[in-house]
Amino acid sequence: MRIFLIANNRNISKDWVNNMNKNIKIQDDDYIVRFNCGKLLNLFNGKTTHFLFRGDKVGFQGINNDYKIENRHISKIKNNINFGVIVYTDEKKNSRIVKDIQRVEKRNNIKIKTIIPMGQSIKNLTGKSPSSGFITLLHYLKNFPKAEIYLMGFTFYNGVNNWHNFSGEINFVRGLIDKINRIKIFF
């Protein structure tokens, strides 16, 4: 089994995408995971098996104020996607989050099947709020111990630290790559 985590990176060249589409053949048991707004839809011709929205203090990234999925492509193929949310552990049982999940489900006629908790221990790894890709990588490493994981288009903002500590995240991921042989980065 392979899990492809697709970055929200607008700066990936068409040549890179075409090369990946040409050289990586998707298999039936592969997961293709996109996040939040779901960029890089031209990668793997928009195929998406899993889509994760990140919860924050005002709602979910990738969901508008009317609880509607922002990405039209994802809205069109929603019946073939396993949806999930990433939330802080202490918010997992928060009534606002629960109600927001219910509103998203009803408004989009979907079922949120996966809740990925982001606890303080994950935040402590880099000292700042971790990115959706970083959280999801750790989730799949833990829950799918035999899967190969491909980080597609992850540049970690070239180590720039803003609301996320991308230099800390890339250093942590490089350490993981040195310890285990099932993470690949393509960018």
Residue whose C-alpha is closest to residue 28's, from 51, 1, 4, 8: 1
Dist CA 171 CA 155 (whole Å): 12
50-56 and 148-152 beta bridge pairing: unpaired
Dist CA 33 CA 30 (whole Å): 10
pLDDT band at 58 (very low <50, low <70, confident <90, very high): confident
pLDDT band at 92 (very low <50, low <70, confident <90, very high): low
Dist CA 118 CA 116 (whole Å): 7
Specify which residues 54 forms β-bridges with. Answer: 61, 86
pLDDT band at 157 (very low <50, low <70, confident <90, very high): confident
pTM, 2 dp? 0.92
pLDDT, tens digit (0-9, with 9 covering 90-100), for 29-38: 999 999 998 8
Question: How much is the mean pLDDT over the chain?
Answer: 90
Say whether pLDDT at 159 is over 80. Answer: no
